[in-house]
A and B are shown apart, each in its own frame.
Chain A
């Protein structure tokens, strides 16, 4: 458990958060620019001095009640920022070695070879940082942080400075991180796309405060949160590749509790993942429409039978958000209020959800 109670007056607002993040997986701090999420990360790292307490499991890094404050260089953490901040006078290999040789050999759990392999840096080792592309620099920065065998990895918008192609280049490496190293990650971002792909635990922040916190899937299914506004609204669900239709290049994904009651299937583009592989699917609310019965003669292959669970107003007065319970999982749809009215939607009404696009995230 990563526990932090932090208070710090900033211009415009006072940062005042009380966090309890799981000791595994990726926790995302998500919110608009200037909401204080970077300050939280800096305070966890000890780079910023907020009032309060910070503890990683039984290891206390800050406790004002005891007058305890462990300086940054004595905290077993890795820190990656948007600008990568590689040391320009050192080669990639020397950058990777900088932190590693500053920890006692007994604490070196992650080998340099391992991070070099994990982040695909083999060909870059002799290069200087100013000869690297943005994506390469970011991968080196991540590897450099990992080479210190941290017990916690803090990432502050590590992809924000990259264009879409570079982002796509680095993202798969981030995916592998927590899986292969069993390292808890706190990830700051204002891009819902990245958060939906990477995070397991979500902390929504606004104006220095926590708006909501909990498992990613739970928060994305709520209609009352800022994440339900805008184009990124939609549920994130865990699934397993159940079947591959090689003739049509499609994969059937089993969504919901593994093998248990209440699971259902959706078809998505086959991305070459083997049957049994765990994946994550994202169903954007704008890609889900509702009907009172199954549609014949529709191009939409994914039709899911469910029951309306909740209806809420969307940002624009013409729109409504409807949460439908499909088996054991929630699916959120964005409709016009006129359609919702015409269909007579209200909690308890059986409906069919048509899902136009299923975004599969490894």
Chain B
């Protein structure tokens, strides 16, 4: 591994970690709302969240580029606020990753919340727990497997994204060159040995992550010795 490789790995990890944290914070309320609402706009919100699952990443990246570019509304806003332009920066990658990895965090959380019976939350209400209290004392602990799945998928999926990064961030070492882009660059340059180092590392990482996930989320075994 060269110094440049390590820079790439660190940048990728930072991007994935930051994206995951932001998504857990923003995605949990969205998932909770989707799981509990009877609103007529629920399908629309659910569809928006799921968009990145079906859209080609380049399409999403293209529109984000337009939105955040100097002429785009978001771009003009960030410039007016003195934040500069987002495309081809680390911050721009974070914004793009949050949107792109959204369904991988929101959907497991939503399913975990939906699996909590209404009567369990009602029982908490009759035991004097306020809505916030019910969320933190009952819903979150019961949704723990969903939280773990959401974190792992959010992280891993951000590590694996390519199309959006290419459109939004390009290939600037130390700023926007993440692993997937670096592998692509090495292959383009016919540096197969360099590509192998990174690619094999990612395969191993993916395997490790998934095995860990399945071990952690294994259904708890029943305690032995049930009476009668």
Q: With an 8 A cutoff between CB atoms, is B50 at the interface?
A: no
Q: Complex: how many Å from CA A267 to CA B141?
A: 57
Residues 80 to 110 of chain A near chain B (Cβ within 8 Å): 81, 83, 85-89, 98-99, 102-103
Identify which of A74, A77, A131, A148 contacts B223 (C-beta below 8 A). A131
A73 touches B125 (CB 8 A): yes
Identify which of A83, A85, A87, A99 contacts B128 (C-beta below 8 A). A99
Q: With an 8 A cutoff between CB atoms, is A79 at the interface?
A: yes
B119 touches A81 (CB 8 A): yes
Q: With an 8 A cutoff between CB atoms, is B126 at the interface?
A: yes
B125 touches A98 (CB 8 A): no
B127 touches A85 (CB 8 A): no
- Residues 120-136 of B, flagged 1 when their CB comes within 8 A of A and 0 if not, give 10111111111101000
Kindly state the interface size class of chain A when it binds its partner: 20 to 34
Q: With an 8 A cutoff between CB atoms, is B227 at the interface?
A: yes
Q: Complex: how many Å from CA A102 to CA B133?
A: 10
Q: With an 8 A cutoff between CB atoms, is B218 at the interface?
A: no
Q: With an 8 A cutoff between CB atoms, is A47 at the interface?
A: yes
Kindly state the interface size class of chain B when it binds its partner: 20 to 34
**A95–chain B nearest beta-carbon distance, Å:** 9
Q: With an 8 A cutoff between CB atoms, is A130 at the interface?
A: yes
B125 touches A72 (CB 8 A): yes
Which residue of B has the minimal Cβ distance to A102? B128
Q: With an 8 A cutoff between CB atoms, is B213 at the interface?
A: no
| B223: chain A residues within 8 A (beta carbon) | 127-128, 131
| A75: chain B residues within 8 A (beta carbon) | 126
Q: Complex: how many Å from CA A145 to CA B125?
A: 11
- Residues 184-218 of B, flagged 1 when their CB comes within 8 A of A and 0 if not, give 00000000000000000000000000000000000
- Residues 47-64 of A, flagged 1 when their CB comes within 8 A of B and 0 if not, give 100000000000000000
Q: With an 8 A cutoff between CB atoms, is B142 at the interface?
A: yes
Q: Complex: how many Å from CA A73 to CA B132?
A: 11
| B127: chain A residues within 8 A (beta carbon) | 73, 98-99, 102, 144-145, 148
Identify which of B122, B138, B226 contacts A87 (C-beta below 8 A). B138
Once A130-B222, A131-B223 are accepted as A-B contacts, the answer to whether A72 and B122 lie under 8 Å apart by CB is yes
Q: With an 8 A cutoff between CB atoms, is B38 at the interface?
A: no
**B64–chain A nearest beta-carbon distance, Å:** 40
B119 touches A131 (CB 8 A): no
Q: Complex: how many Å from CA A98 to CA B133?
A: 11
Which residue of B has the minimal Cβ distance to A131? B223
Known: A87-B120, A87-B142, A130-B222. 6 other contacts (CB 8 A): A79-B126, A83-B117, A87-B124, A89-B144, A102-B127, A127-B223
Smallest CB-CB A-B distances: 7 pairs:
A99-B127, A79-B126, A102-B128, A85-B123, A72-B125, A85-B119, A89-B141
- Give me the interface of A with B, judged by CB distance under 8 Å: 45, 47, 71-75, 77-79, 81, 83, 85-89, 98-99, 102-103, 127-128, 130-131, 133, 141, 144-145, 148
